[in-house]
Amino acid sequence: MKELCLGTAMWGWSVSRDTAFSILDCFYDGGGRYVDTANNYPLNGNARDYRTSPFFLADWCRSRGVNDLKITCKVGTTSNEHSPFINLSPSHLDDQITWARDWFNENLHCIMIHWDDRKDYELINETIEFLEVLNEYGLELGFSGISHPEI
């Protein structure tokens, strides 16, 4: 059987909380366990909506007592306003991982570094070295939107 994965980019923008909950109910009842979200979803440019999609997902998990999802959460962006601004400093990433762990609990499976356009080797290396913390938490690591993977 193929694994199903659900993305949450539109939740809080064109998908309401109630609709998101209905989608999750159907997805979960159908055997889906992999969900992809990001701290900057929805990407609607409305600062008030920053993190709305992951909040919907976390609320659904709590309300249904679900603890067997495998949530991938992308971190690094600092707004949902289609800006190129990121913060991949160790202190910010630690804050983001703590936030994701607090919200998703045992459902958090993977942290993805999101939208790294930097060309500075030292800054990138500082981020990479920090990612060893994910091993301590037992989390998988992923990358999304990396402009210079050769570095």
| Domain CATH number, residue 59 | 3.20.20.100
Rounded Cα gap, residues 88 and 148, in angstroms? 14
Within a domain: 151: no
User: And the tokens for 87?
Assistant: 């913060």
Within a domain: 55: yes
Element (H, E) at 29: helix 17-29
User: And the tokens for 149?
Assistant: 């993977």
pLDDT in tens, 23-47: 999 999 999 999 999 999 998 889 8
Rounded Cα gap, residues 44 and 61, in angstroms? 24
Note the maximum CA span of the chain. 46
Alpha-carbon distance values, 78 to 1, 60, 81, 84 (Å):
37, 24, 9, 9
pTM of model > 0.95? no
**What's the pLDDT at 141?**
93
Tell me the residue length of the chain.
Answer: 151
Q: Which residue has the higher pLDDT, 149 or 109?
A: 109
pLDDT in tens, 60-75: 999 999 999 999 999 9
Whether 1 shows a pLDDT value over 60: the answer reads: no
Within a domain: 69: yes
Q: Residue 117 belongs to what domain range?
A: 5-146
Q: Is 151 exposed, middle or buried, given 0-12, 13-18 or 19+ CB atoms closer than 10 A?
A: middle
Question: Domain total for the chain?
Answer: 1
Residues 6+ apart with CB under 8 A from 38: 8, 9, 53, 54, 73, 74, 75, 77, 112, 114
